[in-house]
Amino acid sequence: MGSVQTIDTEYANIHLVASAYLLEEEGRGVVVETNTTHAIPKILKAMELHGVKPPNLDYVIVTHVHLDHAGGAWALLEACPNAILLAHPKTAKHLIDPSLLIKSATSVYGKENFDSLYGEIKPIPKEKIRVMEDGEWLEWKGHSFQFLYTKGHANHHFCIYDRKTNGIYTGDSFGISYPQLENGKRFIFPTTTPTDFDFAEAIRSLDRILDTGAEVAYLTHFGPIRDLKKNAEDLKEGLTLCQEAISQLEAVTKEDRLSFMESKVETVIQTLASKHSITLTDSDWRLLRLDVNLNAQGLVYAFEKMQPKG
């Protein structure tokens, strides 16, 4: 019957914060998400362990173009000469010519952090990419994959529903759930990183994911989770709190917006953790520091986009 394997890509040299997935059927494979260039040796090792040789990788799928999801796609395709990349049309555009992607990410992270986190990024030849349309199905080795456009986190985001496993690969559209924060309990919070956060679209995307009837969501951050309905309720509560925080920025000076929003994001995360009787430690907050900052940046950016020009 084959299998779905979760691969810890050790993003930023940290365990259990970003995953890729390997589907194996009769020695052939599909990889969903690639993380960064640094993660490709780990993905290739997992393929070897589960009997998928590089020439037998048929597809690489990325949910969106953010580099902790797609930064290593070019390197995995180079290592697996027969694989085709399946992507959203806007994602495909930026992977064929990654210059703007690199420029944008460098502006967010800084040059030194960018190099450390992501390494080299090369263009992918156009003929190695297949664009998947909204609602399109793809058959592979008894699996039926449906590609569903899910805005809210990013305008170039899709999820992949697999009818055979009744699972859905959600990228960042179904939030973040780090195992090491949970103490055996599930706890989830939304991700609102720059530059496309849209509250209404994020809610619609959650509903679209639930409407598939999937029993398991394969999160990129991190690993498979179940009880999608309950987790979606928590995510909607978190997104509502984020939207309320955006509305409060009217009374905050431009210089103080980021620090104000960081405190609001911390409150969102703490609120959702407390619902499950989880007390976050100082060590937990150190791990969450980057998420707090990036989520806050995304919410401030969303507010500033709404302001009149001039």
Indicate whether 261 and 177 sit together in one domain: no
Query: Is the pLDDT assigned to residue 46 strictly greater than 60?
Result: yes
Please list the helix, strand and coil fractions of the chain in percent, rounded to the nearest 5, in that order: 45, 20, 35
Q: Among 3, 238, 35, 19, which residue's Cα sits nearest to residue 119?
A: 35
Domain that holds residue 223: 4-230
Indicate the residue among 206, 230, 254 that finishes a domain.
230
Indicate the residue among 198, 230, 262 that finishes a domain.
230
Residue 236 included in any domain: no
The DSSP symbol for 1 reads: -
Q: Are strands 19-25 and 28-32 parallel, antiparallel or unpaired?
A: antiparallel
CA 178 to chain centre: 13
Q: Among 232, 7, 25, which residue's Cα sits nearest to residue 145?
A: 25
Structure tokens at 100: 């703007």
> b/e per residue, 47-81, with b = 16+ CB within 10 A?
beebebebebbbbbbbbbbbbbbbbbbbbbbebbe
Residue 37 included in any domain: yes
CA distance 4 to 29: 10
pLDDT, position 1? 42
Indicate whether 38 and 82 sit together in one domain: yes
Indicate whether 33 and 134 sit together in one domain: yes
Per-residue pLDDT, averaged over 218-241, amounts to 97
Q: Among 8, 3, 48, which residue's Cα sits nearest to residue 223?
A: 8
pTM: 0.95
Indicate the residue among 203, 230, 257 that finishes a domain.
230
Local confidence band at 2 (pLDDT 50, 70, 90 cut-offs): low
Indicate whether 179 and 96 sit together in one domain: yes
Residue 295 included in any domain: yes
Total domain count, the chain: 2
Indicate whether 203 and 265 sit together in one domain: no
For the chain, report the end-to-end CA distance as a whole number of angstroms: 60
Q: Please report how the helices 257-274 and 228-247 are oriented relative to each other, as an axis angle in degrees rounded to 10.
A: 150
Residue 298 included in any domain: yes
Indicate whether 159 and 281 sit together in one domain: no
pLDDT in tens, 85-111: 999 999 999 999 999 888 887 877 788
Q: Among 173, 290, 294, which residue's Cα sits nearest to residue 231?
A: 173
Indicate whether 18 and 108 sit together in one domain: yes
Indicate whether 220 and 267 sit together in one domain: no
Angle, alpha carbons 48-53-56 (nearest 5°): 140
158 contact partners, CB below 8 Å, separation of at least 6: 63, 64, 88, 132, 134, 147, 148, 149, 150, 171
